[in-house]
Amino acid sequence: MMRIFLVFLLGALVSLSHAATLVSAEEVSKDKSSRLILDVRNADEFAAGHLPGAINIPHDKVTGDDSRLKDWKDKPVLVYCRSGRRSGLAADKLEQAGFSKVQKLEGDLPGWEAKGYPVER
C-alpha cells in the first residue's frame, strides 16, 4: 500500500513540475504579439471562431517537430481549447518536447468570450 502511495505521490510531483502558466484573457488581450496563440481544437471548431491571430493544430497533432512551432521553443506559447482538457494535453506535450514557456488561457475560449473579447471566423 505504501509503495502505491509513493508512486502516486511521485507522479503528482512530476506533473506539477510541468504545469503550464495560466494567463488571463485580460493579459492576452493587451499583448498578443509577444506569444504564439495555439488553438488545439479541431478544424471545424476553429473555423467557427477563434482568438485573433491564433493558429490551429489539433491537440492530437501537437508535436515539438511541427515547423510552425520550431521558432517558439524558448518563447511564450499560449494554448487553449473549449474546456481545458485538450489544452492541458497539448501543453504537456509541448513541455515534454522542451518548450520552456508554455501558457494556458485561463477559462479557455468560453472565458475569452465571456469577457467580451473578439473572435475571428
C-alpha cell at 91: 501543453
| 81 assigned to active site | yes
User: Which position among 81, 94, 102, 109 bears the catalytic label?
Assistant: 81
Grouping H, G, I as helix, E, B as strand and the rest as coil, residue 40 is coil
Q: Distance (Å, rounded) from C-alpha 35 to C-alpha 55? A: 12
Please provide residue 14's backbone torsions phi and psi, each rounded to the nearest 5 degrees: -65, -40
**Any idea which residues carry the catalytic annotation?**
81
